[in-house]
Structure 1
């Protein structure tokens, strides 16, 4: 097997498509339906947004959704340099992401921060490239 996709089941497709397209910078061509797949470069082939009610109708056993910040998983975006973590954190907060954890250089050497999308899914922005003296 090889890894194929990450899916988020969402309540408000338009809000979430706009967030991932305009705030996080993904190339999304959404047709207005309850589903969209974004082709990705690298190991992960697709990032998928699917309206929760569509998923619940196809698999009704799965309907216990997290409320607030979803700490069960995260989406991680790598940036080239430590300083880019701070720049991207400020940019996405100003664009509408919810701040969760400010940019910090961790004891294991990476610079990381966390924000949440409009429905509370965790997004990590990180870099392992120490380009400055934080």
Structure 2
């Protein structure tokens, strides 16, 4: 099997689409429908409104609130310098800091920020 996409169930589609499109820089053709589809390399990122999803499947779910460590979305860059530059760019745009760029013992330079709904985003590189 091959992963086709990663999905987020979101409270506020407009805010989340704007964040991933305008701040992170993923491409989408979203025009207000209940789901959004983003180009993210070999895998797509999709979003679906929580209320719309629950109505579609006729079930209610419990969702994490605030910063949550349920999962992460990991972005990779070519160099350590690119990790530092991207981290600074995001922090300057007001994105929530979780963990500043750090070179890990296994050879990766990584950092974490959070999207507007508290999902963790890792930005890292294995290339010096």
Structure 1-normalised TM-score?
Answer: 0.90
Find the aligned partners of 2:106 and 2:51 in 1 and give their Cα distance: 40
For residue 93 of structure 2, what is the aligned residue in structure 1? 95
Instruction: Select which of 114, 122, 125 maps to 1:124.
Output: 122
Residue range with higher mean Cα deviation, 54-63 or 19-28: 54-63
Residue range with higher mean Cα deviation, 101-110 or 90-99: 90-99
Find the aligned partners of 2:53 and 2:91 in 1 and give their Cα distance: 30
Following superposition, the deviation at residue 34 of structure 1 comes to 1.5
Instruction: Select which of 91, 106, 109 maps to 1:108.
Output: 106
**Contact 2:26–2:39 at 8 Å: present in 1 too?**
no
Unaligned residue ranges in structure 2 (runs of 5+): none
How large is the RMSD of aligned CA atoms in angstroms? 1.2
**Contact 2:102–2:110 at 8 Å: present in 1 too?**
yes
Structure 2-normalised TM-score?
Answer: 0.94
**Contact 2:10–2:16 at 8 Å: present in 1 too?**
yes
Following superposition, the deviation at residue 60 of structure 1 comes to 4.5
Following superposition, the deviation at residue 61 of structure 1 comes to 4.1
Unaligned residue ranges in structure 1 (runs of 5+): none
For residue 3 of structure 1, what is the aligned residue in structure 2? 3
For residue 18 of structure 1, what is the aligned residue in structure 2? 18
Find the aligned partners of 2:88 and 2:45 in 1 and give their Cα distance: 24
Find the aligned partners of 1:60 and 1:70 in 2 and give their Cα distance: 25
Following superposition, the deviation at residue 10 of structure 1 comes to 0.6
SS in 2 for 1:96: coil
